[in-house]
Homo-oligomer: A and B are copies of this chain.
Amino acid sequence: MSRELRVIPLPGIPELVDGDDLGALLVEAAARAGGLEDEDVLVVAQKAVSKVEGRVVPLDGIEPSERARELAGATDPRRIEMILREAREIVRTRPPLVIAETRHGFVCASAGVDSSNAGGPDLLVLLPVDPDASARRLRAAIRELVGVDVGVVVSDSFGRAWRRGTTDVALGVAGIVAVVDLAGSRDSAGYELHATEIAVADEIAGAAQLVMGKTDGIPAAVVRGLGVDGDGRGSDLVMPRERDLFR
């Protein structure tokens, strides 16, 4: 892992809607940036994936429960209701802030339910049902379209305990390792390393965020030069409950 890395933004992807061929749009955007290469990692914002997969719901018609009304404070209780429906468990609340575990096992704000960049003021974007499957489909589509083997990361911005600000992390992964396990590796002086797992897919997602920004509507980037081919999953990045000191 000591080659130079390039992180290339893929602008020019139009506003996406249910059924759009995201694989083809990514290939076109990448072609404008010089094309995709084997071992590239294509990072795609969760919101883009969710939109083409129809994971957008209108606030209209959501009937908030009593609990949603309690947690909503002065905000829209229909949004909180959708968060509660997307959550497997509520981890913390400070109305109107809800930190929840999603059905995938991700612990994040609002169970991943988002109203920014949703395509309209009365719409909510939900996380993909299976972000790893989404990543695998995009990887297969790109191989089909241009015959190139890329890794794919479906990314989202998560807050962290104890630290300010969000960093982008990997929800879905295909074609690369998600966590590099250095157990048994030795450092440059020959001593065995103890802190052994590096969440490379999360670092890749964060690197891509630096060129995608949050307001300028660039939903994808290519990370080139890594050499992290593998068969990882976004679910590899979820701390198993029995190892989790913070649940």
Residues of A within 8 A of B (CB): 1-9, 11, 15, 92, 94, 97, 99, 106-107, 109, 114-121, 157, 159-169, 178-180, 182, 185-189, 191-195, 197-200, 202-204, 206-207, 209-218, 226, 236-240, 243-247
| Chain B residues with CB under 8 A of A211 | 1-5
| A9 CA / B227 CA spacing, docked (Å) | 15
| A193 CA / B215 CA spacing, docked (Å) | 8
| Chain B residues with CB under 8 A of A109 | 195
Closest chain B CB from A116 CB (angstroms):
5
A161 touches B107 (CB 8 A): yes
Q: Out of B1, B92, B198, which one reaches A245, CB within 8 Å?
A: B92
Closest to A186 in B: B215
Closest to A244 in B: B162
A162 touches B247 (CB 8 A): yes
| Chain B residues with CB under 8 A of A107 | 161-163
A6 touches B9 (CB 8 A): no
| Chain B residues with CB under 8 A of A218 | 2
B11 touches A194 (CB 8 A): no
| Chain B residues with CB under 8 A of A167 | 167, 198-199, 202-203, 206
Across chains A and B, which 10 residue pairs bring their CB atoms closest together, nearest first? A165-B199, A188-B217, A207-B207, A203-B206, A161-B246, A5-B7, A107-B162, A161-B161, A165-B197, A117-B187
| A132 CA / B15 CA spacing, docked (Å) | 41
Q: Out of B178, B182, B213, which one reaches A215, CB within 8 Å?
A: B182
Pick the most buried of A94, A116, A204, A212: most chain B CB atoms within 10 A of its CB.
Answer: A116
For this complex, 29 residue pairs linking A to B, each with C-beta atoms less than 8 Å apart, are A3-B211, A4-B7, A4-B9, A5-B207, A97-B245, A117-B193, A118-B191, A160-B160, A160-B199, A161-B244, A161-B245, A162-B239, A162-B247, A163-B238, A164-B239, A164-B240, A165-B197, A166-B195, A166-B197, A167-B199, A167-B202, A167-B206, A187-B217, A193-B214, A198-B209, A203-B206, A203-B207, A203-B209, A206-B207
